[in-house]
Structure 1
Amino acid sequence: MEGSIENCSTTNGSTDSLEYDVHKQWPTPHAQQAVKTWSRLNKLLTQRLVQIDGESLDIATVIALARYGCHLGLTTNPGLRVRIESSVNTLQTYLSNGYYLYGVNTGFGGSADTRTQDLFGLQRALMQHTQSAVLTGVDTQSGSGHHEYLESHSMPSMWTRAMMLIRCNANIRGHSAMTHDVVDTIMQLLNHDIVPVVPLRGSISASGDLMPLSYVAGAIQGNPDIFVRVGGMSGTAKIMTAEQALSEASIKPIVLGPKEGLSLINGTAAAAAVATLALYEADQLAIAAQLLTALSSEALFANNEWAHPFIAAVRPHVGQIEAAQNIRNFLHGSRMMYGLEQTKDRFKAGLAQERYALRSSPQWLSPQLEDLTSAGAQLNVELNSTSDNPVVNVADNDIHCGANFQAAAVTSATEKTRLALQSIGKMLFSQTSEMINHDLSNGLPPNLAADDPSLSFCLKGIDVNTAAYVSELGHLANPVSNHVQSAEMHNQAINSLGLLSARKTMESVEVLSLIVANCLYTGCQGVDLRTLHRTFLMKAEEPARQMLGALLSAEDGSEDFFPQFWKTFEAAWYHSCTLDAAERCERSTEALLTAIVLGVTITGDIKVKAIADCHQTFSDYVLQLYLSHRDGFFQHQITPNYLGKGTKMAYLFVREHLGVPFHRGLIEHPVANSPCGNMLDGRPKKTIGSWVSKIYEAVRDGSFYSEVLRFLDAK
């Protein structure tokens, strides 16, 4: 078959003497960073332990603890405890001199003009005013019934675990004047799988994420009106009060000393936590989008000249070079596309170049990959930063008031990430629509129906709900940072809304994952149908040649014209994709025989009559051959033999690992008392949505991503 890109390269003859081999490997910073994070995460999951030192926390460590429940410990560096104790001693010296210090013996925010000598009471007062957000009975009671409309108002425990980890890492840096006991107690909660129930809304991420972190502070204090989830990682979470949970785990409640309450809550940990979790999945989705672009191009049997490295080399944006290379890697070995081979067919009929959704995908993805890489760099800095106020300077024996809690850097990362996700979703929707729309799909049947299109509309619903997802994604892409409201007596006149932006970015991750699932389901259906029809045409070619041999004498030169005749049949076959099988075979045969009449010099009425008589015979034969071939293909898809190495990996993951089958049409639909039964070849029939849901879960739980990263890691 045409279009293999194996062992092909071209050379640029310009004076720069660069060789543009389609398989030459260039640096791929976004993919390399993703592979590095994935590899480190796998190592941490083997160890089941993560350690922090205040300096080297990374995304993989956050994921390992937050999503997979790894235990937390401190590094054995003796200097770590020294710097913690030194910051506490510096504060005590400061206070012994009778100095006033914000949040230690003064009021908070716009009330900082007050003074007090009750240092412990001040920290309790801080908790009192910040523990003020809404939780419902759904959040605070185990197993009790609630009105359906009264939804949860708490963060997922995964978010809270990440927040607790990041706050611990910040507080051990030696700038917080927090005693070792406070950090140890937070770590004990994590290692006993005791996770505070934290309200979802109420933080503007200025003066830090005061409200969310105050519920963590309340938990380590054993507050009887602060609630925790216990045992969530084992799948049997119980909700109880912090007081009860600490008692059952034999954990001593903390009494917050001077500045310790402020050190706990005056920071960006909540915003940074959700942003980190969102970015981890956003990186996965960006790489999946490049794989899906490759898969879509195979379903469309596309001209992939647009992925040639020369195009990116002469407009050398890092992201464009990377996207084109990754797509070529996923397509390597494909027999379902063309345009990257050394010798091109410059007389090929049809579109001279692909439509924008494929052809400009490297250019479209380029800034998205660069922005995601930039967002990762920002968050890595934030994970190892001191975001307190005031901050202790042990070296100078001084304490400084500033605004490191302002989470604008986190907001910048999440705004970029969310806009990137929207752009990726728009591209994937366009590609998916091209596969489903027979006017754009290069001959695939309408709605990618494998049976007769008059009664099967297969993926039409996928087209519609993907549009709904893209619309929602577009709304979510709107910036959050321009909605700042002055707060807290106009003290917090500018505030980052970092947590809110991160939450919306996590929503975007969820919606784009739905689009990716739809596109992956569609792409697998598309390449199956492409393989079905191309292999059928291959099988029908020799019988057609024999028919011409019997119909026409050698002197007519029919053999010389046969390739042209057969191209006519192939074109007619794809052009008539909207017809049911019987009519499609008749129309295609008619086109073939018409071409024969017009293309071969024939003498005598007998041969003309023979051609006419042949029409029905060959049409019937083609129909039986097609139905037989289709039935065989339904039982055993040979599609992997024609796919690129990367797209084959994705296809087999869907078909074999997840068990999502090639959709055969109307016979697949489960209905009570169906005349065809509700089992098909030993498997239950399911709605299309149920099959897509399996893919969505694999996208979200990371199993699909692991396959893709394993492939990239081997390159």
Structure 2
Amino acid sequence: MGSISPALAYDVNHQWATPHAKQTLNSWSKFNKHIKAGSILIDGQSLDVASVVAVARNGVGLALKEDENVVHGIEASVQTLQGYLSKGFYLYGVNTGFGGSADTRTDDLYGLQRALMQHTQSAILTKEDKSDSPSGHEYLESHSMPSAWTRAMILIRCNANIRGHSAMTRNVVDTMIKLLEQDIVPVVPLRGSISASGDLMPLSYISGAIQGSPDVYVRVGSRKGLPRVITAEQALGEASITPIILGPKEGLSLINGTAAATAVASLGCYEANQLAVVSQLLTALSSEALYANNEWAHPFIAAARPHQGQIEAAQNIRTFLCGSKLSYGLEQTKDRFSAGLAQERYALRSSPQWLSPQLEDLLSAEKQLHTELNSTSDNPVVNVLDNDIHCGANFQAASVTSATEKIRLALQSIGKMLFSQTSEMINHDLSNGLPPNLAADDPSLSFCLKGIDVNTAAYTSELGFLANPVSNHVQSAEMHNQAINSLGLLSARQTMAAVEVLSLIVANCLYTGCQGVDLRTLHRTFIASLRDPARQLITSFLPSEGWLAAVEHEFFDSFWKLFEEAWYDAAAYDADERAHKASQSLATALVVHANRIPAIVSIENVAEISKAFEALILDSYLVHRDTFLRKPTTSEYLGQGTKAIYLFVREKLGVPLHRGLIEHPVAGDKGGNKIDGRPKKTIGSWVSIIYEAVRDGSLYAEVFEFLQAAGDVKGSNEVKGSNGVH
């Protein structure tokens, strides 16, 4: 072979960049700073995804930055419009009709803005959407948006309208901010926007709210968890907020933008990025459960094919595994004589290559959304510098659709990878010696995580369906005026659904991974604890004279290797039969080394020692298993990152190692359906606890606190020391 190109060389002390992880960590840090500060200032230029999430989900306050340029820009745009109208000019949406009706003209400028609301406030809300408490209807989901989405919409529309291009008076923006201050959230229909001339319909309900419409409804007090649903007219009266009368163009400026699509997309993007980082940690955890050969994560492999996402994924996985005693392959000296798989299956081995484009696409998607968050998505657009107004199509949300479809496809790819890893851990034919269905007790009567395998397949199939593009389903609309439209909000909604489904897969994979590393540690520590008693037993049966120390050592090492393989090969059997099958390895070793044993060992002697060894295995295993199940030592064997997430699940969430059939709650249980003082739960209930930690962000906090403590992700420094015992 020729020499390696200098471009492919790498330095073991070099620190690769990890742009996606750093960006995600930075966004999470900003989010927490906003919560601590309690409010954010908007200036039309510096809004980001973290700010949107903080306002939408955590009640962070909103205020206009009292900057001279911002305030002047708002006033100047209104003056420019007034100058236009004073000259008798016709201007779209100000004294003309809308869309395909733009050939009409009117002198009733205020009436025209009301007419805009008339035709856009046209979507479906049911009486259940307007009630204080959920009803027993059988609709799959509400017909109204979650309040968090609406709060994000208000924030984003305010940020766009203060950029000095919308001819909107300060009072309108201030009134929208007052809605958030008073925890008044408009009830906005979920469906009906094609995100072409902006998200006209959803935004029109926000417009109706600040106008105090008696037939637009709002939720008051939703941040406290017990909202009242009343009319906008009543809510504004109670809060002493003066209803807005929309001036020329102000109705159009409110609704002719991408705020709804961008709001939902931003919320989805925030969680998608976090799920992507967690998927790399779960890959590390899965590799430990499978006691994997992690040679595939070596930095040279990524350096030889230097896609940034591949370099980053491999590096992050190495960091999470640093210090692990349950994986190998990254050490300087490799065992090329080992039995079994020479390399891991694709779900682990190709994970850096698989994740690479997903991480790159997620970065690209967030960049698109960041631009959209600080853009003027309006029409017409006021140019105060040239004292002119331009008609265009900045409301077309194709960039948002492009971002969300990249996000959704990335989520699907991540989900497929995690499903494959989860299934590999549960399937004893693929798990490198773990018991079937990861049952801690006898597998003949405990099917433990079999249901998790099936459920994860269902989630993965749904995620695959959601990954289908939305943009190719465009229908010509509005008198064929909106012949091409982005469907940005629809795509963003599907992306939020994909976030939810992938979160289910992550919960399943994390539960499975924790069970897997527990059982891997159980069996590895059992084998380690059995070694000396086994040596003593064999020595007591075999001749003590005539052995060369080196020969005796060689015999025992050869036998012990056979025993380990036999123990893991018999993982599908109950403890007694597993012990019987594994004990046969001793007879095999005695036959193989018969010519080197100093005295003849009779068949009877072989049978006797094998039987004694079988009893030793079974008795030792049952005692060790009972002790381990009560107090697992798993965390001592995990990598730094995987240990953090394992302890989060086991200690902070209180989700225990599942011991098998004894865990299942039944009516009339004499022990009160408790085990060691804790409640017995179905497997689904335990996994649900993890899922809720994914969605409420507490799991992400654990991961990012680890990354912060670790500092910049270390390149291949950890390659030298990440392997453990074989």
The TM-score normalised by the length of structure 2 is 0.95
Deviations 1:283-323 (A, max 9, x none): 01100110000000000000000000000001000100000
Superposition deviation, residue 607 in structure 1: 4.1
| Partner secondary structure for residue 501 of structure 1 | helix
Query: Which residue in the other structure is 1:160 paired with?
Result: 150
Report the residue type matching 1:637 in the other structure. Answer: P
Report the residue type matching 1:555 in the other structure. Answer: G
Q: Tell me, yes or no, if structure 1 residue 597 matches structure 2 residue 583.
A: no
Query: Which residue in the other structure is 1:579 paired with?
Result: 573
Superposition deviation, residue 606 in structure 1: 5.9
Query: Which residue in the other structure is 1:643 paired with?
Result: 638
Q: Map 1:270-285 onto structure 2 (within 5 A).
A: 270-285=260-275
Q: Which runs of 5+ in 1 are unaligned?
A: 1-11
| Partner secondary structure for residue 707 of structure 1 | helix
Query: Which residue in the other structure is 1:495 paired with?
Result: 485
Deviations 1:236-292 (A, max 9, x none): 211111011111111110000000000000000000000000000000110011000
Query: Which residue in the other structure is 1:440 paired with?
Result: 430
Superposition deviation, residue 615 in structure 1: 2.1
Q: Map 1:479-518 onto structure 2 (within 5 A).
A: 479-518=469-508
Q: Distance in 1 between matches of 2:689 and 2:310?
A: 32
Q: Map 1:547-696 onto structure 2 (within 5 A).
A: 547-553=537-543, 554-556=545-547, 557-601=551-595, 602=597, 607-674=602-669, 677-696=672-691
Superposition deviation, residue 16 in structure 1: 2.5
Quote the RMSD (CA, aligned, Å): 1.5
Q: Tell me, yes or no, if structure 1 residue 245 matches structure 2 residue 235.
A: yes
Q: Is the CA contact 1:136–1:150 (under 8 Å) kept in the aligned structure 2? A: no
Q: Map 1:71-150 onto structure 2 (within 5 A).
A: 71-143=61-133, 145-149=135-139
Q: Distance in 2 between matches of 1:416 and 1:144?
A: 34
Superposition deviation, residue 521 in structure 1: 0.3
Superposition deviation, residue 339 in structure 1: 0.4
Q: Which sits farther off after the overlay, 213-222 or 230-239?
A: 230-239
Q: Map 1:11-50 onto structure 2 (within 5 A).
A: 14=4, 16=6, 20=10, 24-50=14-40
| Partner secondary structure for residue 535 of structure 2 | helix
Q: Distance in 1 between matches of 2:99 and 2:369?
A: 26
Report the residue type matching 2:171 in the other structure. Answer: D
Q: Distance in 2 between matches of 1:143 and 1:66?
A: 21
Superposition deviation, residue 591 in structure 1: 1.9
Q: Distance in 2 between matches of 1:467 and 1:284?
A: 22
Q: Distance in 1 between matches of 2:140 and 2:526?
A: 56
In structure 2, the CA distance between the partners of 1:691 and 1:235, relative to structure 1 (3 Å rule), is same
Q: Tell me, yes or no, if structure 1 residue 539 matches structure 2 residue 546.
A: no
Q: Is the CA contact 1:294–1:327 (under 8 Å) kept in the aligned structure 2? A: yes
Which of 165, 172, 180 is equivalent to 2:170? 180
Superposition deviation, residue 598 in structure 1: 2.6
Deviations 1:29-53 (A, max 9, x none): 1111111111111111110011100
| Partner secondary structure for residue 404 of structure 2 | helix
Query: Which residue in the other structure is 1:300 paired with?
Result: 290
Q: Map 1:295-444 onto structure 2 (within 5 A).
A: 295-444=285-434
| Partner secondary structure for residue 43 of structure 1 | helix
Structure scoring higher RCO (CA < 8 A, sep ≥ 6) equals 2
Q: Map 1:450-469 onto structure 2 (within 5 A).
A: 450-469=440-459
Which of 205, 209, 221 is equivalent to 1:219? 209
Superposition deviation, residue 23 in structure 1: 6.7
Query: Which residue in the other structure is 1:4 paired with?
Result: none
Q: Is the CA contact 2:116–2:252 (under 8 Å) kept in the aligned structure 1? A: yes
| Partner secondary structure for residue 106 of structure 1 | coil
Q: Distance in 1 between matches of 2:669 and 2:571?
A: 28
Q: Is the CA contact 1:552–1:558 (under 8 Å) kept in the aligned structure 2? A: no
Q: Which sits farther off after the overlay, 489-498 or 73-82?
A: 73-82
- Percent of aligned pairs with the same amino acid: 71
| Partner secondary structure for residue 33 of structure 1 | helix
In structure 2, the CA distance between the partners of 1:22 and 1:653, relative to structure 1 (3 Å rule), is farther
Report the residue type matching 2:27 in the other structure. Answer: T
Q: Is the CA contact 2:546–2:598 (under 8 Å) kept in the aligned structure 1? A: no
The TM-score normalised by the length of structure 1 is 0.97
Q: Distance in 2 between matches of 1:22 and 1:425?
A: 32
Q: Distance in 2 between matches of 1:372 and 1:328?
A: 21
Superposition deviation, residue 671 in structure 1: 1.0
Superposition deviation, residue 208 in structure 1: 0.2
Q: Distance in 1 between matches of 2:137 and 2:521?
A: 51
Q: Distance in 2 between matches of 1:286 and 1:151?
A: 27
Deviations 1:379-398 (A, max 9, x none): 00000000000000000111
Q: Is the CA contact 1:382–1:410 (under 8 Å) kept in the aligned structure 2? A: yes
Deviations 1:543-572 (A, max 9, x none): 111122112224254332111100111000
Q: Is the CA contact 2:538–2:609 (under 8 Å) kept in the aligned structure 1? A: no
